[in-house]
Amino acid sequence: MFIPCLRPLPPYPKLSALTHHQHFQILKVLSEENPHILPDFPMHKPQKQDHKVYEAVKEIYLKEQKEYIEWAKSLWFMEHCIRTLRPKPAIETVYEAEFKVKMLRMSSLPKQYDIAAQIPLESRRKTCEAVLKQELITVNLSDTPFARIPDNINKHFCILRASAVPEPCPKHPYQFVLPNEKSVSVLPTSEIHRELAQYALTNGAQYIASENALKCLMQQNRPWTIPISVCEAIGPDGDPVNVVVLDSEFAATKECAQMRTLKAYRHLLEQSLIPMKEKTRVWKNKKEGLAPTKGQTTVEVDESSEDEDNMFICTDDDTVMSEMETESVTPHCYKKIDSNMDKKNFDKDAVGYFTRAESKKISESINDIGFYNCTCKDSAYENPPRRSFKKWQFRSKTEVNHDIIIHCPHKARSKSGGELLIEPIVDYQLDLGASKQTTDSIRSLALSLMLRKNASVVIARVDGRTADIASITTMSADKFTSTHADIARSVPNIVYTALGQLQGLLPGHYVLQHEVEHGMNGLLLSVCRGARAPQLVLAAGAPPQDDAKMLRQPPEITPELLPYHKFRKTIPCAFTPFEKQLVKEPKKPAPKKKAPPQAIKLQAEQPESGTTRKVPSHSGDLFNELNECSA
């Protein structure tokens, strides 16, 4: 029988306060509560006596759990924290690809920001609620790929496998389908923010935000950065109205090793659970359904203005498509270089005879090769996941209400047709037990479930070192919310507080930044215009974040049943009841009989020091002879 993530025994320092038989009785009760954990392993059903024993020794078990958790933290600081550093090359490749895409998305925004204000992200005094007012754009879940969730992990399941990764596309710097369009937009991020602001005002909302931006507001245990734009939109009476646009998270610098691993595992887990047939089917359907149509977008231009922002090239869609096809075959820069070569009829060695102006022109054209070509065409990331747009109202009994449009991507569905949210939990101490899911992660999932209908969450425990899946749990929205009711209630409060703090900003570009040491606050950064050093600089070569900040927070082990607990017949978060499994203290080696030094050997062979060799004296011998004669 295959046991997922079966590791060598940890170095238990002491015996458990419970006997082996009590461990087995408690294990039967826990196995009945978790039937999805190793269901093929034979385990007797708990009897009444087992439940009585569990209730009788519960206090002893809880006390031992606290002691066990403290022991696990000590191991984290001594040796286990090294497991998080230096992720595998495949993990770095996935994160690097997503990081480059995000940097390209932010290329059209200002690069330097300075502190404008510190704003609270949560107020515990307020009681708020979220009400769905209107579904503007819905998504048919049959158009999303089907995710195959295994009921039982009966073989080795590693998510560290070859998969497609996104690539920066010069033609589509922001892979986003505007609500009034059907194809991926070619506009930069700043123009997409303006289009979204106008769409929000048309539908009677003062805010429009992505789901990812609101999920960042829920997570206060990690650093994050989200762009915010305040755009002027034209109201129905012709007056300009300020609309706040909250975009998805980006990273000004590479994140710490733990966050890089988590984001890469989330991508790899989604790719591993979706079969290749489903990916191909969805890709074909998107390619057929998202074909560009004529008269898709109309842009009003003020001809009296000479600003470069108002300059557009108006062409017919057929002409644009023909130009795209010709550009994909022969780039314009190649044609330019070939024509120059034909005119002067140079050979390979004649390139050095170009004039300075001609050589500069050719070098610039070479650097711009394929600038207008689409690098995501005919790939898995040619079209982003479909998004739904819904209008919500966050209400407070004592203050004003906030109307906001929230757009969410839909990535996977289940057998029953409901939507699936796939979330990994990375465990670095899986040999000691399962890591506790953080409050911020639970709050973030509660927000995602609130924004969707008939959705479930798939939580997969993944070994941080090997990327092996230890267990997979599927929970419906009702069960997840009832299990974490206290945490789920704080979601509307956080969103309402953040929207209230962003009200009244002047038009422009901002950045909302949060660090772990900020607590429930965040820094609002505006475009740097003074002589002071900027607080944030968007640069591709910036140094990565410090790993030490995240390593100071050890993961907390939780008493959650894992497959190897049933196999070893031990309970989670408890020391071993078997004396043979205790760590053996190294015995002191017996003193070896060392050979004496060579000088001592030589001295022992020679006569003792200080003694002289006896030599008979002549006088003594003569006296003895006289005595003998007289006798």
Percent residues over pLDDT 90 in the chain: 56
Over residues 297-355, the pLDDT tens digits come to 333 334 434 344 444 444 344 443 444 443 333 333 333 334 343 443 333 333 333 34
Q: How far apart are alpha carbons 386 and 282 in whole angstroms?
A: 11
> How distant, in Å, are the alpha carbons of 86, 88, 255, 264, 536 from that of 259?
12, 13, 6, 8, 20
Question: Residue 90 — very low, low, confident or very high, per pLDDT cuts 50/70/90?
Answer: very high
Of 373 and 443, more confident: 443
Mean pLDDT (whole number) for 556-575: 94
What integer pLDDT is reported at residue 212 of this predicted model?
Answer: 96
Of 287 and 148, more confident: 148
Mean pLDDT (whole number) for 584-588: 73
Q: Which residues contact 257 (CB under 8 A, 6 or more apart)?
A: 84, 85, 86, 87, 547, 550
> Is the pLDDT confidence value at 610 over 60?
no
Say if 551 falls within a structural domain. no
Domain count, the chain: 3
> Is the pLDDT confidence value at 594 over 80?
no
What integer pLDDT is reported at residue 96 of this predicted model?
Answer: 93
Question: Residue 590 — very low, low, confident or very high, per pLDDT cuts 50/70/90?
Answer: confident
Note whether 173 and 272 are same-domain residues.
yes
> Is the pLDDT confidence value at 380 over 50?
yes
What integer pLDDT is reported at residue 542 of this predicted model?
Answer: 59
Note whether 400 and 489 are same-domain residues.
yes
Over residues 472-508, the pLDDT tens digits come to 999 999 999 999 999 999 999 999 999 999 999 999 9
What integer pLDDT is reported at residue 583 of this predicted model?
Answer: 82
Note whether 204 and 230 are same-domain residues.
yes
The highest-confidence range among 298-312, 551-565, 616-630, by mean pLDDT, is: 551-565
Tell which residue, 90, 182, 103, 173, has the closest CA to residue 375: 173
Over residues 41-64, the pLDDT tens digits come to 888 899 999 999 999 999 999 999
Say if 26 falls within a structural domain. yes
What integer pLDDT is reported at residue 359 of this predicted model?
Answer: 42
Say if 1 falls within a structural domain. no
Note whether 117 and 261 are same-domain residues.
yes
Q: How far apart are alpha carbons 109 and 229 in whole angstroms?
A: 10
Produce one character per residue of 585-596: b if its CB has 16 or more CB atoms within 10 Å, e if not: eeeeeeeeeeee
Note whether 34 and 116 are same-domain residues.
no
> How distant, in Å, are the alpha carbons of 443, 567, 592 from that of 438?
9, 27, 54
Q: In this predicted structure, which of 409-413, 503-507, 515-519 has the lowest mean pLDDT?
A: 515-519
Note whether 56 and 197 are same-domain residues.
no
Q: In this predicted structure, which of 85-99, 350-364, 418-432 has the lowest mean pLDDT?
A: 350-364
CA-based max dimension of the chain: 161
Say if 28 falls within a structural domain. yes
Q: Which residues contact 285 (CB under 8 A, 6 or more apart)?
A: 143
Percent residues over pLDDT 70 in the chain: 79
What integer pLDDT is reported at residue 422 of this predicted model?
Answer: 96
Round the average pLDDT of the chain to a whole number and report it.
Answer: 82
Say if 340 falls within a structural domain. yes
What integer pLDDT is reported at residue 279 of this predicted model?
Answer: 85
Say if 552 falls within a structural domain. no
Q: In this predicted structure, which of 184-198, 455-469, 542-556, 575-589 has the lowest mean pLDDT?
A: 542-556
Question: Residue 292 — very low, low, confident or very high, per pLDDT cuts 50/70/90?
Answer: very low
Note whether 200 and 261 are same-domain residues.
yes
Residue range(s) defining the domain that contains residue 248: 89-292+382-546
What integer pLDDT is reported at residue 345 of this predicted model?
Answer: 39
Q: In this predicted structure, which of 288-297, 300-309, 600-609 has the lowest mean pLDDT?
A: 300-309
Question: Residue 543 — very low, low, confident or very high, per pLDDT cuts 50/70/90?
Answer: low
Note whether 450 and 393 are same-domain residues.
yes
Note whether 147 and 66 are same-domain residues.
no
Say if 216 falls within a structural domain. yes
What integer pLDDT is reported at residue 315 of this predicted model?
Answer: 39
What integer pLDDT is reported at residue 441 of this predicted model?
Answer: 95
Over residues 171-216, the pLDDT tens digits come to 999 999 999 998 999 999 999 999 999 999 999 999 999 999 999 9
Mean pLDDT (whole number) for 466-474: 94
Report pTM.
0.79
> Is the pLDDT confidence value at 142 over 70?
yes
> Is the pLDDT confidence value at 286 over 60?
yes
Q: How far apart are alpha carbons 109 and 538 in whole angstroms?
A: 9
Q: Which residues contact 554 (CB under 8 A, 6 or more apart)?
A: 72, 73, 76, 77, 81
Note whether 79 and 102 are same-domain residues.
no
> Is the pLDDT confidence value at 131 over 90?
yes
Q: How far apart are alpha carbons 357 and 367 in whole angstroms?
A: 16
Of 531 and 210, more confident: 210
What integer pLDDT is reported at residue 25 of this predicted model?
Answer: 95
Q: Which pair of tokens denotes residue 448?
A: 């995602």
> Is the pLDDT confidence value at 33 over 80?
yes
Q: State phi, psi for 167 to the nearest 5 degrees.
A: -135, 140
Q: DSSP for 490-550?
A: THHHHHHHHHHHTTTPPSEEEEEEE-GGGTTEEEEEEE--SSSPPSEE--TTPPPPPTHHH
Mean pLDDT (whole number) for 502-518: 93
Note whether 209 and 262 are same-domain residues.
yes
Over residues 215-274, the pLDDT tens digits come to 999 999 899 999 999 999 998 888 999 999 999 998 888 888 999 999 999 999 999 999
Question: Residue 464 — very low, low, confident or very high, per pLDDT cuts 50/70/90?
Answer: very high
What integer pLDDT is reported at residue 317 of this predicted model?
Answer: 42
Say if 311 falls within a structural domain. no
Mean pLDDT (whole number) for 427-433: 94
> Is the pLDDT confidence value at 24 over 60?
yes
What integer pLDDT is reported at residue 479 of this predicted model?
Answer: 94
Detail the DSSP E strand segments found in 251-396: 387-396
Note whether 403 and 472 are same-domain residues.
yes
Mean pLDDT (whole number) for 432-451: 95
